[in-house]
């Protein structure tokens, strides 16, 4: 809970990947709070107050997952909203000639995105979500200590660079520093 909050403030990309991992941890424990307590919370070495707070946070996530029908797969609406915010910012940055470095980084990344979508069959996912799916997939492969091809490593490196730039711009935007010299965004 505090980790998620801190990540949200510091790096939206890390936050989103962390929250996707929390969703998977909840699923791996069958959305069962007793199992989550035993397998996750008890292992954190928290005092009673912290343990209660983390338990309540997990309970609220489990409840949301049930209400939103993402017990088996998919993402919570709060995580989908982050993707929507990032897509909106991405679109604004591409439209604004002030952000040519961002646009150039996106176009360096685009061939990898297209290739990943073709391989995964996720044609309906947008570019930003495809990038996050790739980063999350890499995280899972690393956790499982699986080998990754050099081509995939190159693609992930470029996607990481691009998403890091988007996350940096997101933080600046949240601090009202990104478009500070503009009165408003125009379409």
Query: Tens of pLDDT along 89-147?
Result: 999 999 999 999 999 999 999 999 999 888 877 666 799 999 999 999 999 999 899 99
Query: Does 19 fall in a domain?
Result: yes
Instruction: Give the Cα separation of 175 and 38 in Å (integer).
Output: 39
Q: Which two tokens stand for residue 151?
A: 């081509």
C-alpha radius of gyration, the chain, whole number: 18
- Tens of pLDDT, residue by residue over 14-64, are 999 999 999 999 999 999 999 999 999 999 999 999 999 999 999 999 999
The answer on pLDDT for 187 being more than 50 is no
Q: Which two tokens stand for residue 179?
A: 């478009």
Cα of 125 vs its chain's centroid, Å = 14
Query: Does 182 fall in a domain?
Result: no
| Residues 83 and 166 grouped into a single domain | yes
**Which of 111, 134, 110, 106 shows the shortest CA–CA distance to 122?**
134
Q: Write 7-11 long-range contacts (CB < 8 A, 24+).
A: 10/171, 11/167, 11/171
| Residue reference for tokens 């199992």 | 35
Structurally, the chain folds into a number of domains equal to 2
Entry pTM: 0.89
Query: Does 187 fall in a domain?
Result: no
Query: Does 181 fall in a domain?
Result: no
Of the residues 19, 45, 68, the one at which a domain ends: 68
| Residues 55 and 86 grouped into a single domain | no
| Residues 60 and 86 grouped into a single domain | no
| Residues 111 and 169 grouped into a single domain | yes
pLDDT at 123: 64
| Residues 96 and 137 grouped into a single domain | yes
pLDDT at 182: 53
| Residues 83 and 170 grouped into a single domain | yes
Domain limits at 117? 77-174
Mean pLDDT of 160-179: 95
Helix, strand or coil, per DSSP, at residue 50: helix
Query: Does 179 fall in a domain?
Result: no
State the greatest distance between any 2 C-alpha atoms of the chain, in Å, as a whole number.
53
């Amino acid at each position: 809970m505090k980790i998620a909050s801190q990540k949200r403030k510091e790096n939206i990309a890390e936050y989103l990947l962390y929250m996707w991992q929390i969703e998977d941890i909840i699923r791996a424990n069958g959305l069962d709070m007793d199992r989550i307590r035993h397998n996750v919370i008890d292992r954190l070495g928290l005092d009673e107050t912290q343990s209660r707070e983390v338990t309540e946070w997990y309970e609220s996530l489990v409840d949301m997952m049930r209400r939103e029908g993402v017990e088996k797969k998919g993402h919570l609406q709060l995580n989908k909203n982050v993707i929507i915010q990032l897509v909106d910012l991405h679109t604004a940055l591409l439209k604004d000639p002030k952000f040519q470095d961002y646009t150039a980084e996106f176009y360096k990344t685009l061939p990898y995105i297209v290739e990943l979508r073709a391989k995964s069959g996720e044609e309906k996912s947008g570019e930003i979500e495809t990038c996050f799916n790739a980063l999350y997939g890499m995280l899972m492969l690393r956790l499982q200590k699986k080998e990754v091809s050099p081509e995939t490593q190159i693609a992930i490196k470029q996607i990481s660079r691009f998403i890091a730039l988007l996350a940096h711009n997101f933080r600046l935007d949240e601090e009202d520093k990104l478009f500070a010299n503009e009165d408003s965004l125009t379409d």
